[in-house]
């Protein structure tokens, strides 16, 4: 049974304030709530040398590089993606990304089911407050 509504949702291109951490600006373009829990769509602007630490999440995650280049770890394999390149990390797969270049990168990240934005906001808050990030991540079912 489809739990999504037929209500259309749209907004201006930069409607959300970014979540900032680890040299990455994360814009929630479609939240889990907006999609009826089906997925979350994020735009991430990744500074040179920045990225995420290796982790696994309880969602499937897809990456699409819009600008620049990004190294993506999928399990034990690292792939370099350039503009137009994509990668998929099934739920539970250890993964991370990093911008290896001296130029900023811009990527789209989709997680399914939705709700990943709550983890990102919670982790950014924990980092800002100097709390243990592994403990904060674990409260969202994420293993750092």
Q: Model-level pTM greater than 0.75? A: yes
What CA–CA distances, in Å, run from 94 to 40, 48, 66, 88? Answer: 19, 22, 23, 11
The pLDDT tens digits for 90-125 are 999 999 999 999 999 999 999 999 999 999 999 999
The span from the CA of 5 to the CA of 57, in Å, is 26
**pLDDT recorded at residue 17:** 83
The pLDDT tens digits for 63-81 are 999 999 999 999 999 999 9
The CATH class for the domain spanning 19-138 reads mainly beta
The pLDDT tens digits for 24-66 are 999 999 999 999 999 999 999 999 999 999 999 999 999 999 9
Domain ranges for the chain: 19-138
């Amino acid at each position: 049974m489809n739990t999504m509504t037929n209500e259309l949702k749209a907004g201006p291109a930069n409607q959300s304030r970014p979540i900032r951490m680890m040299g990455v600006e994360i814009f929630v373009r479609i939240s889990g709530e907006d999609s009826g829990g089906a997925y979350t769509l994020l735009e991430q602007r990744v500074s040179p040398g920045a990225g995420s630490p290796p982790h696994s999440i309880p969602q499937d995650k897809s990456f699409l590089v819009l600008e620049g280049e990004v190294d993506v770890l999928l399990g034990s394999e690292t792939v370099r993606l350039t503009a137009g390149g994509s990668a998929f990390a099934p739920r539970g797969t250890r993964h991370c990304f990093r911008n290896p270049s001296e130029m900023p990168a811009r990527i789209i990240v989709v997680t399914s089911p939705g709700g990943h934005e709550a983890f990102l906001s919670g982790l950014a808050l924990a980092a800002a407050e100097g709390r243990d990030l592994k403990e904060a991540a674990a409260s969202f079912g994420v293993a750092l």
